[in-house]
A and B are shown apart, each in its own frame.
Chain A
């Protein structure tokens, strides 16, 4: 589904190379995790895939089902089925959460040439999904992420994911700022969306999220490259020994 080949990326502002040749292949239905120390380029990878400005791709490619992602506007990537759950969800004062969700859902449908959802259809859908994530009516009415706790923001990301039904979900440090209960709730939301046609790329610093969202493959990223790839046991190794051993091994 998601194929990344030899991806090299630098910061536009600083002429600093962050990704130094990333190769990754996430097949349909798979859950891959990327772990790595701070500054290894994990979040940059997620932003570049989603189309955030400020990065320059100097080499390599990234495709979603053969479509060149890097050539598309962020909204086109979203309509093609890519979703990034932000590490720091953005607050948008003045835009109601419900309006935001409906605009997003219908914008994507329009971009794909599908019929827009009616107000009633949308409402039914959003109520059902919100209930699963224990998001109450008040959170739906409030401006997007404004005054939300860390846990509420992350649940709101998963709600968007559930509403948009993307095929390729990237979760950028979704566990940061969550307590154990909130993490369980978020993980349940994610697990509920797992199916044969949907893939996940879970970016995390710690192993603990992977206890709840079980990955098929774990990659270790360091200094802008994927330095090791293995099964779920690789995450446990990091948990016990830290990143130092692995990094010295590959150095």
Chain B
């Protein structure tokens, strides 16, 4: 294990946090996670995966204030969809659990200790712990130890309605840790939606265990508050013939780091991870980091990473993506694409694509590019009467389109696209 040097700032966030007590098995998991964290400590700039964008703001004892964005009457994303809603405010679940359809069981993490949820006990902090090697993810261990709330979700059938986690925040100084675990039993299907800023500073862990032949589809839209900071972790374990698709939209936000750690443990499974990020430094600081680690530990699995970033006026984009193909993981088909569209000379894209392969019959590749707007296409559009600014917006959306295509539901693509259009139009209007 790569262990970052212990460099706890003083006073430390750790001093301020209190271990929640939510029952026997959860308490054990939390204590184990705290021990893991203490071994690692907070990351420093010399740590391999924290060089491009450091985590000082995630480790600070108090979050920086994040003013609440005035949405000016705009309905939140996914509003038009029929879905099962679960709301959190500043990191706390609010309201009652909705009536659940057949094939779906949901409990709150805070109630978990009183219930004998074997499957949850076998999952909470387990995929996180496994994901600490070979690369340490200290904030994920911290989360497992201290998460204040979250859901334990078990899917035993094909659930037609999406399960929707809605993250609101009212407190410009809120600091939240959410930890969800999700188990899809063999053949089960679920779409999970997440949206909203959640808190001024957010740390999330989502552990997803996808059993044989199960299908999981995840679409996330991180809130547009300019000052918000978020470090998210997605740990997934994919069994035989399972399908896993995850898409994240990030617009605005002072600092976002989305870590995804996926392991294929069964043959013939598919994992697609995609992200579209757009930041304008003129509106506020913007640093966006996608850090992905995919381990092919089984045969004939397909992994795709499609990450696209549109950066302007000093915005910073980071991509650190790795595909590890273990010995024996023959017929692996792995591809990663990370691209940045830099709309000016002030913005920065830092990319670190990695392939590590120990099997001899695999197809793995990566493509990482950064560049400006295609001048030929821009002129072509203008010569047809499309004004320069609108033509540029059209090309920006076109650039993001192959990440968007990883979303399976056309209505969601349309919903997200119309918001991106509106964002671009507002930006143009100044």
Q: In the complex, what's the smallest C-beta–C-beta distance from A114 to chain B, in angstroms?
A: 12
Q: In the bound complex, do residue A53 and residue B385 qualify as a contact, i.e. CB atoms below 8 Å apart?
A: no
| B50 contacts partner chain A, Cβ-Cβ < 8 Å | no
| A73 contacts partner chain B, Cβ-Cβ < 8 Å | yes
Known: A94-B401, A111-B387. Contact between A74 and B382, CB under 8 A? yes
Give the interface centre of B384, B385, B394, B395 by most chain A CB atoms within 10 Å.
B385
Q: In the bound complex, do residue A164 and residue B379 qualify as a contact, i.e. CB atoms below 8 Å apart?
A: no
| B96 contacts partner chain A, Cβ-Cβ < 8 Å | no
Q: Which residues of B contact A90 (CB under 8 A)?
A: 376-377, 379-380
Q: In the bound complex, do residue B383 and residue A51 qualify as a contact, i.e. CB atoms below 8 Å apart?
A: yes
Could you give, for residues 109-126 of chain A, a 1 whenever the CB lies within 8 Å of some chain B CB and a 0 otherwise?
A: 001000000000000000
Q: In the bound complex, do residue A51 and residue B402 qualify as a contact, i.e. CB atoms below 8 Å apart?
A: no
| B399 contacts partner chain A, Cβ-Cβ < 8 Å | yes
Shortest Cβ distance from A85 into B: residue: B383
Known: A94-B398, A94-B401. Contact between A73 and B377, CB under 8 A? no
Q: Which residues of A contact B388 (CB under 8 A)?
A: 73, 75
Q: In the bound complex, do residue A79 and residue B402 qualify as a contact, i.e. CB atoms below 8 Å apart?
A: no
| A160 contacts partner chain B, Cβ-Cβ < 8 Å | yes
Known: A73-B388, A107-B387. Contact between A92 and B380, CB under 8 A? yes
| B386 contacts partner chain A, Cβ-Cβ < 8 Å | yes
| B375 contacts partner chain A, Cβ-Cβ < 8 Å | yes
| A206 contacts partner chain B, Cβ-Cβ < 8 Å | no
Give the interface centre of A74, A90, A160 by most chain B CB atoms within 10 Å.
A74
| B390 contacts partner chain A, Cβ-Cβ < 8 Å | yes
Instruction: Give the number of chain A interface residues (Cβ < 8 Å).
Output: 31
Shortest Cβ distance from B402 into A: residue: A94
Q: In the complex, what's the smallest C-beta–C-beta distance from A70 to chain B, in angstroms?
A: 15
| B397 contacts partner chain A, Cβ-Cβ < 8 Å | yes
Q: In the bound complex, do residue B385 and residue A164 qualify as a contact, i.e. CB atoms below 8 Å apart?
A: yes
Instruction: Give the number of chain B interface residues (Cβ < 8 Å).
Output: 24
Could you give, for residues 159-181 of chain B, a 1 whenever the CB lies within 8 Å of some chain A CB and a 0 otherwise?
A: 00000000000000000000000
Could you give, for residues 79-118 of chain A, a 1 whenever the CB lies within 8 Å of some chain B CB and a 0 otherwise?
A: 1000110100111111100011001110110010000000
Q: In the bound complex, do residue B387 and residue A75 qualify as a contact, i.e. CB atoms below 8 Å apart?
A: yes
Q: In the bound complex, do residue A160 and residue B377 qualify as a contact, i.e. CB atoms below 8 Å apart?
A: no
Q: In the bound complex, do residue B398 and residue A104 qualify as a contact, i.e. CB atoms below 8 Å apart?
A: no
Tell me which of B375, B377, B381, B401 contacts A53 (CB under 8 A): B375
Q: Which residues of B contact A22 (CB under 8 A)?
A: none
Docked pose: A91 CA to B380 CA in angstroms: 9
| A9 contacts partner chain B, Cβ-Cβ < 8 Å | no
Shortest Cβ distance from A161 into B: residue: B384
Known: A53-B375, A94-B402. Contact between A78 and B394, CB under 8 A? no
Docked pose: A53 CA to B376 CA in angstroms: 10
Instruction: Scan residues 317-365 of chain B and give those whose CB is less than 8 A from a CB of chain A.
Output: none
Q: In the complex, what's the smallest C-beta–C-beta distance from A44 to chain B, in angstroms?
A: 14
Give the interface centre of B388, B390, B398 by most chain A CB atoms within 10 Å.
B398
Q: In the bound complex, do residue B380 and residue A73 qualify as a contact, i.e. CB atoms below 8 Å apart?
A: no
Docked pose: A181 CA to B387 CA in angstroms: 35
Docked pose: A127 CA to B253 CA in angstroms: 44
Tell me which of B381, B383, B387, B399 contacts A94 (CB under 8 A): B399
Q: Which residues of B contact A52 (CB under 8 A)?
A: 379, 383
Q: Which residues of B contact A77 (CB under 8 A)?
A: 383
Q: In the complex, what's the smallest C-beta–C-beta distance from B284 to chain A, in angstroms?
A: 27
Q: In the bound complex, do residue A103 and residue B398 qualify as a contact, i.e. CB atoms below 8 Å apart?
A: no
Q: In the bound complex, do residue B386 and residue A103 qualify as a contact, i.e. CB atoms below 8 Å apart?
A: yes
Residues of A within 8 A of B (CB): 50-53, 73-75, 77-79, 83-84, 86, 89-95, 99-100, 103-105, 107-108, 111, 143, 160, 164
Identify the 6 closest CB pairs spanning chains A and B, nearest first: A94-B398, A108-B385, A78-B385, A94-B401, A104-B384, A74-B382
